[in-house]
Structure 1
């Protein structure tokens, strides 16, 4: 029935800041960008390889509960070839990177960063 994840939709508080983060820091490319006047909202389709994000802006969105662990979507995770190399690249782009850890169940390396609104983003070395 289900074949794949098509996209992840993210609502941001500052559209330009978030768009710059996803394009300049993480390397996503803008596929389409549309102003929706009836909603006073931007919708931006971003792609990085097979990963697609829909970035939305809305007037005065409520904050996202994150910590302590809130119910709902916890984080998004991206597979990387090397957590160490990815962390080094992101630090060179002024992105704060948490310490690299090892998953106790899989032995894989992972770390977290956050987007401009604090959305946790995991970088996971899957061995692919």
Structure 2
């Protein structure tokens, strides 16, 4: 049956700003980038370590989606990292606010949250090799 996550789709409000955030800041690899004139929409396929993809979409005037506090629906997108402190430092150098590090009481793993340009909650979850 299910074998893994293929992709996560994100609709952004400012395509160039979100493209720079996911590609330049977070380092995801561009797989494909297509503009659909009939929809006035960009679709950017991004690879994350060849395990998963993020599809970044733009549409004219997308309605905002509530995400705080704890709105119903997808809660957040979590990225697996080897060195949480190094990733936090990288984000902070780019003036990205990062929440204080917490420890999962069930796994004893360290994690934190930050947000993409549209406020989508993103998590960093440390899995040491």
Please classify the TM superposition score into its range, dividing by the shorter chain length.
Answer: over 0.9
Instruction: For 1:88 and 1:8, locate their aligned partners in 2 and report how far apart those are by CA, in whole Å.
Output: 25
Aligned to 1:69: 70
CA RMSD of aligned residues (A): 1.0
Instruction: For 2:30 and 2:126, locate their aligned partners in 1 and report how far apart those are by CA, in whole Å.
Output: 25
Instruction: For 2:104 and 2:83, locate their aligned partners in 1 and report how far apart those are by CA, in whole Å.
Output: 14
Paired residues, number = 128
Deviations 1:32-70 (A, max 9, x none): 111101111000111121231100000111101111111
Range that drifts further, 95-104 or 5-14 = 95-104
Q: Counterparts of 1:44-123 in structure 2 under 5 Å?
A: 44-49=44-49, 50-123=51-124
Determine if the alignment matches structure 1 residue 15 to structure 2 residue 7.
no
Structure 2 gaps, min length 5: none
4+ aligned runs moved over 3 Å, structure 1: none
Aligned to 1:42: 42
CA contact (8 A) 1:84 1:100 kept: no
CA contact (8 A) 1:66 1:74 kept: yes
Determine if the alignment matches structure 1 residue 28 to structure 2 residue 24.
no
Aligned to 2:2: 2
